[in-house]
């Protein structure tokens, strides 16, 4: 009889524990959700705005500079040349430039061999021209990994005059150059020009004097 009561008590106790555990399990998700909701932090969406100062872009259209280079004078070899130029930028792509250069012609091969001067010591060579330029490849030039400069390739063509051996000759000019701007007022240029004109010093022919030069220009 006593064993029977013990079994009934044990069964009742077991059923009671099962009911309590089921209640706790059913209540636990709700408690977790409430705790998660209570732990959510609400952020203020306000963003602080920074004031940015923009550098003013200069609008200088004039450019002036000096250059030094080498010119191959027809029949008279390669000679040093110095000059100056001034340009006016009509638009971002087009500009007009006036150029002046001066050199002194060397001796020809015949003069060196015979010792007889063809030009009677009149070897001053000067030219001037007015050309129209067009910027074709604006971009950037890099010096290492961290330094970049604004740059562009341009072409030009124009008309002018060449004074040599006591005569002035009408001259056609074609060429091109590469320009690097260090800042908004200073640039470095490498320019190639070809001066084409009629010459009759050593027989009548068309001369093609090729010039390459480098120089600095200033915008104002």
CA distances from 198 to 93, 119, 167 (A): 32, 17, 11
pLDDT score recorded for residue 57: 43
Q: Which ranges of the chain would DSSP assign to H, the alpha helix? A: 2-39, 109-114
Q: List, for residues 147-201, the tens digit of each pLDDT value.
A: 778 889 999 999 999 998 888 999 999 999 999 998 889 999 999 999 999 988 7
Instruction: Sketch the domain layout of the chain as residue ranges.
Output: 62-219
pTM attached to this predicted model: 0.69
- Closest to 209 (Cα-Cα) out of 134, 108, 125, 133: 125
Nearest-angstrom CA–CA distance, 97 and 84: 11
Q: Indicate if the pLDDT at residue 55 is higher than 50.
A: no
The topology (CATH level 3) of 62-219 is Porin (2.40.160)
pLDDT of residue 33: 52
Q: What is the pLDDT of residue 148?
A: 79
Task: Give the model's pLDDT for residue 74.
Answer: 87
Nearest to 210 by CA among 42, 90, 76: 76
- Is the Cβ–Cβ distance between 206 and 177 less than 8 Å? no
């Amino acid at each position: 009889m006593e064993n029977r009561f013990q079994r009934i008590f044990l069964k009742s106790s077991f059923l009671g524990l099962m009911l309590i555990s089921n209640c706790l399990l059913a209540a636990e998700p709700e408690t977790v959700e409430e705790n998660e909701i209570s732990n959510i932090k609400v952020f203020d969406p306000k963003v602080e705005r920074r004031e940015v100062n923009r550098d003013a872009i200069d609008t200088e259209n004039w450019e002036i500079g000096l250059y030094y280079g080498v010119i191959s004078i027809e029949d008279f070899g390669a000679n040093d040349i110095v000059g100056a130029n001034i340009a006016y930028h009509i638009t971002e792509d087009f500009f007009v430039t006036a150029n002046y250069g001066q050199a002194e012609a060397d001796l020809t091969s015949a003069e060196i061999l015979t010792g007889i001067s063809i030009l009677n010591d009149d070897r001053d060579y000067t030219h001037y021209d007015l050309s129209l330029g067009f910027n074709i490849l604006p971009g950037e030039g890099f010096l290492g990994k961290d330094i970049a400069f604004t740059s562009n390739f341009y072409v030009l063509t124009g008309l002018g005059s060449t004074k040599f051996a006591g005569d002035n000759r009408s001259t056609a000019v074609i060429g091109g150059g590469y320009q690097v701007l260090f800042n908004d007022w200073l640039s470095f240029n490498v320019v190639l020009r070809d001066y084409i004109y009629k010459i009759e010093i050593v027989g009548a022919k068309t001369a093609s004097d090729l010039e390459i030069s480098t120089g600095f220009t200033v915008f104002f």
